[in-house]
Amino acid sequence: MEGFEVLVLWAVVYCVSVSSVPLNEYKTESQLKHVNITIDTKYSSYITLSDVTADELGQYEGGDMIGHIPEMHNGLVDEKFRWQDGVVPYKIVGNFSLEQLTKIQQAFHTYHNVTDGCIRFVGRTDQHDYIQVKSNPSGCGSNVGRQGGIQVVNLQPPGCLYTPGTIQHEFLHALGFHHEQTRWDRDEYVTISWDYMKHGSEGNFAIHEEDKATGFGFPYDYQSVMHYGSNAFSVNHTADTITPVDPNAKIGQRKGLSDIDIAKLKKMYKCDTK
3-class secondary structure, 63? strand
User: Cβ–Cβ contacts within 10 Å for residue 77, how many?
Assistant: 16
d(CA 145, CA 86) in angstroms, rounded, equals: 12
**CB-CB contact of 40 with 124 (8 Å):** no
DSSP 220: P
34 is in an annotated binding site: no
87-92 and 120-123 beta bridge pairing: parallel
| C-alpha distances in Å from residue 169, one per residue of 118, 185, 274 | 18, 21, 25
Establish whether 56 is a catalytic residue. Answer: no
Q: Classify residue 1 by burial, with Cβ atoms within 10 Å: 0-12, 13-18, 19+.
A: exposed
Say if residue 204 is preceded by a cis peptide, omega within 30 of 0. no
173 is in an annotated binding site: yes
Catalytic residue among 170, 180, 202, 210: 170
DSSP 83: P
* Known binding residues: 169, 173, 179
* Known binding residues for Zn(2+): 169, 173, 179
Catalytic residues: 170
